[in-house]
Structures are given as structure tokens and as C-alpha cells.
Amino acid sequence: MKDNLFSGPEPDPAGDAGHENAPPRVGFFTDTSVCIGCKACEVACKEWNALPEDGLSLTGMSYDNTGGLGASTWRHVAFIEQPVPAGRTELPLADTDPGKAEDTSGVRWLMSSDVCKHCTHAACLDVCPTGSLFRTEFGTVVVQEDICNGCGYCVPACPYGVIEQRPKDGRAFKCTMCYDRLGAGQEPACAKACPTESIRFGPLDELRERAALRVEQLHEAGVTEARLYGHEPDNGVGGDGAFFLLLDEPEVYGLPPHPVVTTRDLPAMWRHAGIAALSLVTGAALSFALPVLTRRSGRT
């Protein structure tokens, strides 16, 4: 039996949630090296899930009109403009000689489609008092909007800042990985719409193998800064159901470098609280018992 149900490696989150004979866990692998910033994933997500528009005002953030993930933005394409690192050879989208793809403009774009990570240890799920958040048989985490009471506990619990409440009614919303499509044997709308296959969907173990091969391929092509993010099963959230191949540090993409599930220390906190309460009760009992014992001993 595990010492801490809130953290550590968890090979079968769906089984741990009570799903018997569950299918293999599925997830997303987003390869940012081939993302072209077309926003097809954003549009497909909004269309399929009937999400309301979330503001059309100019943000001043390049081509990024959504700004980040939220209650009505379940896919967000980030546009990051930065100088090309010295000696860097830009990666071509096609399978051509990387040496012929040098960028002479001095500027490069890093584009990445962000999404809920569907953590192995999901703090949002752990703190939900109504059971609105639940673990599906596919290992994903879904919000049941008709059960959500708008308490907002899940919002600060998420280490990635993904989940958000809608201003009008206070209910929380986030990516469901198109749970309705998965049940019908289809892939999520965002992955289906991605023209460059930057967003890959499938069994999580297979995606991790494919991602490792892709990083090796990029390193051989001279893109030594390519690295995976969120793929390790023993990281601070037990591994993400949606992980990424990045071309720079996670902070550049607005991702925490070392995310940790915020409920990890709950068992220790309750243990310390119990010890403190026991000490308080013991101290109170002694404060009443000692005068009585002292009076009795004085009479004898």
C-alpha cells in the first residue's frame, strides 16, 4: 500500500480511481518544434465544446489574442518572439538538410499549444468537495459542470494555473480531452485539426516512446536545446497526461520549471495537526488534574 495517495509514481490512476478493466491511459504529446501557430486547435476546441468567446480585445502580446488558458479557452497557442541564439540553426518543418534552414533575420518564433496537463495526481480533483471533478476510465480529469458549486477550491490547487471559474456563474471549467469523443472511439478535436501533427494523441506509454525518439532526432540535427517537459512519471505531479517537447526553458513558455501537486503534504499536515491537537488536549487535562492531585496529596 502506498504511504501517500497524493503524490509519487502511480502506474494506474484510472484503476486507483475505481475503474475496473480500464483501457490504456491516453494523453497528448505536443511537439512545439513543428507548431506553426495556426490556432486550428483553439478553433476546433471551441467549436466542438461550444465554448463562449472570451474577449476580442487586443492584448499587445504579438498574435496572442487569448493570453492564456481559462474557463473558456481550453487550448491556448503561445507566440514567443526572441533573438536567435548565437550559432543556432533553425529547424525546418520539412525533412530537409537542417544546415540549409539558417535564419538570417536574427529573430525566431517559439509557438506552443498549451492545455490542461491531466496530472496523475490532480490537486484540483483532490480538493473538490462535491465530486464535480472526477477521474475517467481513460486516466483523464474532467469537470462535471452541473455538479460544480462554484467554491473555487480547485483554482489555487492547480500547480499549472489551468482551471478557472467563469465570471457569470462562478463554475469551474477546463479541458476534458474531449471525453465524449473518447467514449465514441474518436481522438480529441484539437489533435484531429492540427495540420502539422504537432499535437499527438494516443496511449501515453507509446507517446513517451515517440517523444524520446523525437528528441534524439532533434539532437542529431543540432537542436541540442530540445527537451521534454512533464513526461517523467516520478516528477512533482506523478507525470502529466499532456506533456511537451520544448525548445527552451519551461519558464519561456509560461510553464513552472518544477511543478508539485499542491496536496502532496496534506498527510503530513494532518499528522502534525493531530499531534498538536493531542498535545493541547493532554496539556488541558494535566492543567485540571494537577491541582486536584496536589490538594489530595496535601490532605494526606
The reported pLDDT for the residue numbered 263 is 73
What's the chain's average pLDDT?
Answer: 85
The reported pLDDT for the residue numbered 97 is 46
pTM of model > 0.75: yes
Sign of CA dihedral 91, 92, 98, 103: negative
For residue 68, give Cα distances in angstroms to 2, 115, 125.
Answer: 36, 9, 21
pLDDT tens for each residue of 88-137: 555 554 444 444 445 456 788 899 999 999 999 999 999 999 999 999 99
Q: How far is residue 45 CA from its own chain's centroid?
A: 17
Closest CA to 264 of 64, 123, 149, 148: 123
pLDDT tens for each residue of 158-188: 999 999 999 888 999 999 999 999 999 999 9
Tell me the average pLDDT across 31-44. Answer: 95
Tell me the average pLDDT across 133-145. Answer: 96
Of 59-68, 101-110, 214-223, 266-275, the range with the lowest mean pLDDT is 266-275
221: pLDDT strictly greater than 60: yes
The reported pLDDT for the residue numbered 8 is 64
